[in-house]
């Protein structure tokens, strides 16, 4: 894209919005935090950040009138952390929460096990990478920063996995919808590359 891509940061109340916005602007993007449907639909890229629980996250989107709108987005869309989990059909969190249905599958709790701390918090390897424009320049074994208690099992949409007791999806894709379970804004080189690729490498 010859001009700075216009990025709509969906205002769903996530506490990581400011750091995601700063990370994108450092890469040359023009970002705007918004819950305005016209702005979201007109953007070159849409990012759905999120921190917290699935039930509360969906309630915020619903209250802002964004649940159905996000299903209409035609531009590349990236969900980050909880934002990735909300792209799936359903989350087991909060007794079972229907989510956006943009990526097939259900998000489940990370199972407790000896020596496995939940929430999963810290740096973990990215493994089993699938060739995709979002992962250009990222190699197997590089590390990213995670903070979460629920995860999407590895499935057809998985572009990269990580292991914390069990193996689960770290990056997913379905059509023009991508998700990163880790925090790219806190993941150094790997996170900056993933965000750069989302801005410049993926396309409609």
In whole angstroms, give the CA distance from residue 170 to residue 148.
11
In a domain, 155, yes or no: yes
The single residue listed with the structure tokens 């759905």 is: 48
The single residue listed with the structure tokens 């009138």 is: 65
| 2-11, 168-177, 181-190: segment of lowest average pLDDT | 2-11
User: Whole-model pTM above 0.85?
Assistant: yes
Catalytic status, residue 148: no
Q: Average pLDDT of the chain?
A: 94
Catalytic status, residue 106: no
- The range of the structural domain enclosing residue 170 comes to 6-200
Q: Of 67, 93, 142, 185, which is the active-site residue?
A: 185
The 10s digit of each residue's pLDDT in 82-97 is 999 999 999 999 899 9
Q: Of 81, 142, 148, 164, which is the active-site residue?
A: 81
Catalytic status, residue 185: yes
The 10s digit of each residue's pLDDT in 20-38 is 999 999 999 999 999 999 9
> Could you check whether the bond before residue 137 is cis, i.e. omega within 30 degrees of 0?
no
The CATH number given to whatever domain includes residue 124 is: 3.40.50.880
Query: Which DSSP category does 4 fall into?
Result: P
The single residue listed with the structure tokens 């159905």 is: 68
Domain count, the chain: 1
Q: What is the DSSP string of 44-74?
A: SEEEE---S-HHHHHHHHHHTT-HHHHHH--
In a domain, 1, yes or no: no
Which pLDDT band holds residue 113 (cuts at 50, 70, 90)?
Answer: confident
Q: Of 120, 148, 164, 183, which is the active-site residue?
A: 183
């Amino acid at each position: 894209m010859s001009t700075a891509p216009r990025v709509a940061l969906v205002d769903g109340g996530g506490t990581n919005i400011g750091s995601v916005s700063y990370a994108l602007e450092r890469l040359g993007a023009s970002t705007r935090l918004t819950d305005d449907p016209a702005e979201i639909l007109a953007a070159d890229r849409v990012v759905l950040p999120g921190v917290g629980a699935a039930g509360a996250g969906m309630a915020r989107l619903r209250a802002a009138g964004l649940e159905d709108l996000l299903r209409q987005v035609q531009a590349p869309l990236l969900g980050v952390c909880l934002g990735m989990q909300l792209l799936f059909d359903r989350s087991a969190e909060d007794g079972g929460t229907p989510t956006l249905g943009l990526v097939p599958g259900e998000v489940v709790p990370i199972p407790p096990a000896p020596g496995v701390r939940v929430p999963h918090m810290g740096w973990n390897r990215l493994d089993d990478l699938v060739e995709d424009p979002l992962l250009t320049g990222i190699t197997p074994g590089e590390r990213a920063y995670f903070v979460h208690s629920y995860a999407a099992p590895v499935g057809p949409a998985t572009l990269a996995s990580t292991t914390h007791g069990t193996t689960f999806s770290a990056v997913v894709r379905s059509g023009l919808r991508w998700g990163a379970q880790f925090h790219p804004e806190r993941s150094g080189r790997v996170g900056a590359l993933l965000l750069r690729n989302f801005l410049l490498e993926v396309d409609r």
